[in-house]
Structure 1
Amino acid sequence: MSSSVQLLTVTGQGLTPWLERLAGLRIRVFRDFPYLYDGSLDYEAEYLSTYTRTETSVCVLALDGEQLVGASTGLPLCHEMEAFQRPFIAQGMAVERVFYCAESVLLAAYRGQGIYRAFFDGREAHARRLGGLAYSAFCAVERSADHPLRPAGYQPLEPIWRHFGYRPEPGLSTHFGWKDIDQPSETDKAMQFYLKRLDTAS
């Protein structure tokens, strides 16, 4: 990891002082493919407040001096919105046993330095400390290979996720809506869940 970057882990209300900067970072990073998210600070404020309402949430912040260059959030799935819980309930999985890794955002200049791996390690360590959680999970948007905004030379992250021990779980998928940067209104997106047993090292 770059020697100029320091990681800071906060939980629950400890995220509150960082919310505005985290919202701006999410909007900036998620504009890129594959999310193409045309975000707003108002929505971000509401969305991120979820993490300040439970002390079981975690956010791993990446700081270069005083600049927030990356962040990674997570919390037990039982505290997430219903759209993310529903597929697990349908498969007979207890949401209380799943830790949900919500997102990792990192400025392009800081990628390839081990920070992304540190984000996963930090969230998984937090989940293990909480106890009673059997799985770590996240979901990723599915985009077609011929999507018009797919950059030339785009490299999907699935090989990295597999290296970290995560696998796509058949039958665990959902839809979630947001406005794409090239669309006039919000549309639903297919989202695939990836799972890893928390007693498995990667």
Structure 2
Amino acid sequence: MQHPLSLKTVIGSDIEPYINGLAQLRIEVFREFPYLYDGSIEYETSHLNTYLQSDRCIAVLVFDNGNLVGASTGLPMEDEKEVFKQPFLEKGYNLANIFYCGESILKKEYRGRGIYSRFFEERESHAKHLGGFQWICFCTVERPADHPLRPDEYQTLDPIWQKYGYNKHPELTTTHRWKDIDKESESDKTMVFWMKEIG
């Protein structure tokens, strides 16, 4: 029997009590393909500090009996790190018109229950409530189809994102560094942006 899940949306500095839980959840879920991320709490809490600096950020949190099992975040692109901003500046976008969606992560056993779509709905609703945004976007890692750690049963989320109205923009890419779970050191990863017009 499945437990009923509860969703909680927090805005701005109200995210602070959940930073450690978010960090741990990111490390767990992003170990899976395609990220294969071998993360640390120290790095994650530093990364999530960006959200503490934005009074317009959102975090959609999913709990099972008080335990954090899923989360999705977003904030105006103006409040993000330079590595996210630069591709848009180079292509002539106005950052003030763009809302950026961070992770949408959910522990395996809670998938397939309609939560993923709620993540997108809640973030888009927040962006519209703030007003002034023409675009909403996210980015995802690019991995080769023949990657040795790609599970046989792995299915790309591209059709789902397209169903939600997002389109891949290969001209908008950025680079991140992290250590893969099967490697000894960090390496650069190409991240590509997906966008949807909401204005």
Q: Which runs of 4+ in 1 moved over 2 A?
A: none
Counterpart of 1:143 in structure 2 is 143
Q: Look up the match of 2:176.
A: 176
Amino acid at match of 1:134: Q
Alpha carbons 2:3, 2:64 under 8 Å: kept = no
User: In the aligned structure 2, how far is the partner of 1:162 from the partner of 1:74?
Assistant: 19
* Residues 1:86 and 1:152: Cα distance change in structure 2 (over 3 Å): same
Q: CA deviation at 1:32?
A: 0.4
In the other structure, the counterpart of 1:51 is 51
Structure 1 residue 170 displacement after superposition: 3.5
Q: Which residue of 2 aligns with 1:165?
A: 165
1:187 to partner: Cα distance:
0.5
Q: Could you list the runs of 5+ residues in structure 1 that have no partner in the other structure? A: none
- What does residue range 30-45 of structure 1 map to in structure 2 within 5 Å? 30-45=30-45
SS in 1 for 2:145: coil
- In structure 2, relative to structure 1, the CA distance for the partners of 1:164 and 1:3 (3 Å cut) is farther
3-state DSSP of counterpart to 1:128:
helix
How many angstroms apart in 1 are the aligned matches of 2:146 and 2:174?
22
> Is the partner of 1:148 in helix, strand or coil?
coil
Give SS of 2:133's match. Answer: coil
Structure 2 counterpart of 1:14, which letter?
Answer: D
TM-score, normalization by structure 2: 0.97
Equivalent residues in 2 for 1:76-87, closer than 5 Å: 76-87=76-87
Give the alignment's TM-score, normalised by structure 1: 0.96
Counterpart CA distance in 1 for 2:171 and 2:5 is 38
Separation (CA, whole Å) in 1 of partners of 2:192 and 2:54: 25
Percent identity over the alignment is 51
Deviation track 1:150-180 (CA, whole Å, cap 9, x = no partner) reads 0012100000000000000141111111111
1:72 aligns with 2:89: no
Q: Secondary structure at the match of 1:73?
A: strand
CA distance in 2, matches of 1:90, 1:50: 22
Structure 1 partner of 2:28: 28
Q: CA deviation at 1:52?
A: 1.2
- d(CA) in 2 for partners of 1:68 and 1:3? 13
Q: Which amino acid aligns with 1:65?
A: N
Q: What is the total number of aligned residue pairs between the two structures?
A: 198
SS of the aligned residue for 2:187 comes to: strand
Q: Following superposition of structure 1 onto structure 2, how do residues 55-134 of structure 1 map, counting pairs within 5 Å?
A: 55-134=55-134
For residues 169-200 of structure 1, what are the alpha-carbon distances to aligned partners after superposition, in whole Å with 9 as ceiling and x for unaligned?
Answer: 1411111111111111111111110000114x
CA contact (8 A) 2:27 2:37 kept: yes
SS at match of 2:104: strand
Partners of 2:139 and 2:98 lie apart in 1 by 13
Name the aligned partner's letter for residue 83 of structure 1.
V
Structure 2 alignment gaps of length 5 or more: none
Distance across 2 between alignment mates of 1:151 and 1:169: 26
Residue aligning to 1:192 = 192
